[in-house]
Structure 1
Amino acid sequence: MIKQNAWEAAFDVISLLEENGYEAVIVGGAVRDSLRGHPANDVDVATNAVPEEVKAVFIHTADVGISHGTVLVIHPLSPVEVTTYRTEGTYQDHRRPDEVHFVSSLAEDLKRRDFTINAMAMSGNQEIIDLFGGKEDLQNGVIRAVGEPIERFKEDALRMLRAIRFSAQLGFQIEDSTFEGISKQAKDLHFIAKERIKAEFDKIFVSEHPEKAMQNIKQSGLDEFLPGEYIQIGSWENFEAGMESWKGWAFFCLLQPQQDVKIMHTFKCSNNEKKIVKDIIEAYQSLISQGWTKRHYFEFDLEVLKTAYVFADYLENIPTQPKSVEEIEQNKANLAIQKKTDLVVSGHDLIKWSGKKGGSWLKETLEKILTEILENRLSNDQQHIKEWFLSERDSGI
């Protein structure tokens, strides 16, 4: 028996709906993941009850997508999205249905879904309802569109990239006619907002098989309708992002001609993502061209340094120094100071000691003091710095 809170909440919701004369099942990725023995964060319920009927059954609800048939049931263990069985109208924009129609048939609801492995349902007694061979495809490691692939991709062009993402996450092969459908409809990807595409790439980067995604993007022709160049695909084979998609963006940018970071703007990446990726690229370039000085260790965050080093290893550009991630950590820890705010003097001190007005000389002098401290030629002590400063001033600073 499945014990997770989300599942228990969903089964409770199903039970209460059934007690009130309605039909209800668990649908979507939760069913797929349970059959694979993997945890599911989102356990969604589908029902033949329309939204008003669902709200009449449960005391605490929220309208999260009621125009499309979805009501959020606030269960003490976990909130549960409950959606009315539905079919969908035409997709004029290749992204969203122009209208939805509530239906009483689970079969009608399931056949509108994207892939067979996502078109299974689970009853309240944990019986699997599989109308399209999803269980067999799951066992055989196959991504297959429900029904006619081209029709599914015409409805929502993002499904093409989702097929590739699932292949990367699960390590599955895309079934031939489904892959052919992607190739034929690849041009429709330009209808999809870059934010939605970016979200799929985030998931690809943290998947177990990103190299499979890059290969499928290239072979299907989707690369012609996506920003960036899909080259050096073999370099992705050993790539690991863990749970941090920004590492994927950094590696993706590193593999671009001229190691282009500007492409992140096209993908609508956040400013924080752009900043860390820019730092990683700069750290990587410094590492393989001249090696890192103490100033590099000071300027870059530890995670940036470690990531740049690992990327150099992936691309077989590893330098003679440092020799390991542990050495990077030690070099960073051994710095005399870790950040500029650790300096015990400021521009005000320099103005007071010199009697001069402020100007560009202040920044230059503070940078020089910082370098002297990092190189262990000057201690981070106010009196010592003052003595050094006055000595340098007398020498023509």
Structure 2
Amino acid sequence: MKHSEPYIAAVDIVRKLRDAGFQALWAGGCVRDLLLVKEPKDYDVATNALPEEVRHLFGKRRTLAVGASFGVIIVRGHQPDCDVEIATFRSEGPYLDGRRPEHVKFTTAEEDAQRRDFTINGMFYDPINESIYDYVGGKADLQQHLIRAIGNPLERMQEDKLRLLRAIRFAATLGFHLAESTFHAVQTMANEITVVSPERISEELRKMLVHPHRKDAIDLVQSAGLMKPVIPELAPLWENEENRPLWNRTLDRLEQLTTANFETAFAALLLDLPAPTPADQLDAAHQICKQLRFSNHGLHLVLWLIEHRTSLHGAPGFKLSQLKRLLAHENCPYLFELAHADLTSQKQSLEDLEFCRQYRDHTPIEVLNPPPLITGNDLIDYGIQTGPEFKELLTRIQDAQLEESIHTHEEALALLAQLHQK
């Protein structure tokens, strides 16, 4: 069996630690993924070597002390996806801020397993001897498709409130179910998710929404009581019985999506956001994206998609200039995905959408979005001052070009002279 470069790099790190007299095992998510016969995204190593011993063994230039006080060192690979996180076996002190422990104590693999979040993430693997070390019942839970907190669920969630969302994500994306006691702990503490940074919450939502099981994830987030503290603006959709069909339609829309684009999925989540007017809805969506610390690009894409939700309706009757401008827009492929899911969830016709797809797919880019026949410099040379008329003239001439009523620079100048005289 041919192994990936990250796999080989992680084996080499374990072997080097062993040759130096230390214990070393793969830990956490990579062990879970291997048992699920999935290629791990990254590999973590747990060892009894202290951070300074790890740095000495692999060299200061090849290591990054990203969390040395918590026993974490990154060993750089020859390419980025070959970086490996090495953590010293540890037990942890109290999590007074609900995010990180006040102190750690270096210890054994068995004790280290007890401080991890869920049993399926608490196993170790020896890649040299190909053996599993399971002190928390993770293998059995994996076989039963069960997400179960290690030890007392409330204590695990109190330690790091992000685990409230992680429990949901693992259950939904793996197609597992939450152990009753773990789900109850999430429900009990749901309102405390607000102590977690918006960036970390946003990243968990991203991982849920880019996954094909996004509908199950969001349904579980809401039923666990986490959606309201995270996006309170959506709460009227399930709290108000009259709006409940809109929430069900939101879930259906998410299920119909086939894209892996986060912003498209997030727009699908907010598409029926309760608001008196479309402008108010856009303002609310803007505020939500800002609160979750979206990038400017992500925020603008979400808002554009919501604003253009119905822009494809009646497309066969559009003027050529209107149709081409819309279909040439860089966000149009995302709009197609969103419109398909939205229309399907409402059991509406896809004819206009299919017309747009066919037109865009079969129209050369130089016809759909041709270089302008005239520019602002031409208007300035013509003696026209910048201002409202300036932009209007450029738009009207480009409209004529898109309508295919003019085809050359000379024809554009003639039209400019005609329009400017009026």
TM norm structure 2: 0.86
> Matches of residues 127-166 of structure 1 in structure 2 within 5 Å?
127-166=131-170
**Cα distance, 1:360 vs structure 2:** 1.7
The residue aligned with 1:108 is 111
> Matches of residues 49-128 of structure 1 in structure 2 within 5 Å?
49-59=49-59, 60-76=62-78, 78-103=82-107, 105-123=108-126, 124-128=128-132
2:254 to 236, 257, 262: 236
Instruction: Provide Cα deviations, 1:241-298, integer angstroms capped at 9, x if missing partner.
Output: 32x2122122122132245421211111111011222222222232247776542541
- Partner Cα separation in structure 1 for residue 372 and residue 262 of structure 2: 34
> Matches of residues 119-268 of structure 1 in structure 2 within 5 Å?
119-123=122-126, 124-227=128-231, 228-229=233-234, 231-232=247-248, 233-242=251-260, 244-258=261-275, 259-260=281-282, 261-262=285-286, 263-268=288-293
Instruction: Provide Cα deviations, 1:200-244, integer angstroms capped at 9, x if missing partner.
Output: 0000011121111111112111123111416232332222332x2
Alpha-carbon spacing, 1:319–1:42, altered in 2? closer, same or farther (3 Å): closer
- Partner Cα separation in structure 2 for residue 272 and residue 161 of structure 1: 25
- Partner Cα separation in structure 2 for residue 82 and residue 348 of structure 1: 60
The residue aligned with 2:23 is 23
Q: What SS does structure 1 have at the residue aligned with 2:311?
A: helix
Q: What SS does structure 2 have at the residue aligned with 1:45?
A: strand
1:272 aligns with 2:297: yes
- Partner Cα separation in structure 1 for residue 338 and residue 253 of structure 2: 15
The residue aligned with 2:392 is 364
The residue aligned with 2:239 is none
**Cα distance, 1:173 vs structure 2:** 0.8
The residue aligned with 2:351 is 320
Please say if residues 336 and 353 of structure 2, whose CA atoms lie closer than 8 Å, have aligned partners that are also in contact. Answer: no
Q: What SS does structure 2 have at the residue aligned with 1:93?
A: coil
> Matches of residues 304-343 of structure 1 in structure 2 within 5 Å?
304-316=334-346, 317-318=348-349, 320-323=351-354, 326-330=357-361, 333=364, 336-338=367-369, 342-343=371-372
1:281 to 306, 314, 321: 306
- Partner Cα separation in structure 2 for residue 153 and residue 297 of structure 1: 52
- Partner Cα separation in structure 2 for residue 283 and residue 108 of structure 1: 54
Quick one: which amino acid aligns to residue 93 of structure 2?
Answer: G
Alpha-carbon spacing, 1:324–1:176, altered in 2? closer, same or farther (3 Å): farther
Please say if residues 309 and 318 of structure 1, whose CA atoms lie closer than 8 Å, have aligned partners that are also in contact. Answer: no
- Partner Cα separation in structure 1 for residue 414 and residue 177 of structure 2: 70
Q: What SS does structure 2 have at the residue aligned with 1:237?
A: helix
**Cα distance, 1:335 vs structure 2:** 6.9
Q: What SS does structure 2 have at the residue aligned with 1:147?
A: coil
- Partner Cα separation in structure 2 for residue 255 and residue 30 of structure 1: 38
Quick one: which amino acid aligns to residue 344 of structure 1?
Answer: L
- Partner Cα separation in structure 2 for residue 357 and residue 270 of structure 1: 36
The residue aligned with 1:350 is 379
Quick one: which amino acid aligns to residue 35 of structure 1?
Answer: L
**Cα distance, 1:327 vs structure 2:** 1.1
Instruction: Provide Cα deviations, 1:127-147, integer angstroms capped at 9, x if missing partner.
Output: 011122211211221111111
Quick one: which amino acid aligns to residue 360 of structure 2?
Answer: E
Please say if residues 373 and 398 of structure 2, whose CA atoms lie closer than 8 Å, have aligned partners that are also in contact. Answer: no
TM norm structure 1: 0.91
Structure 2 residue runs of 5 or longer lacking an equivalent are 236-246, 276-280
* Cα RMSD after superposing both structures: 2.3
**Cα distance, 1:76 vs structure 2:** 4.6
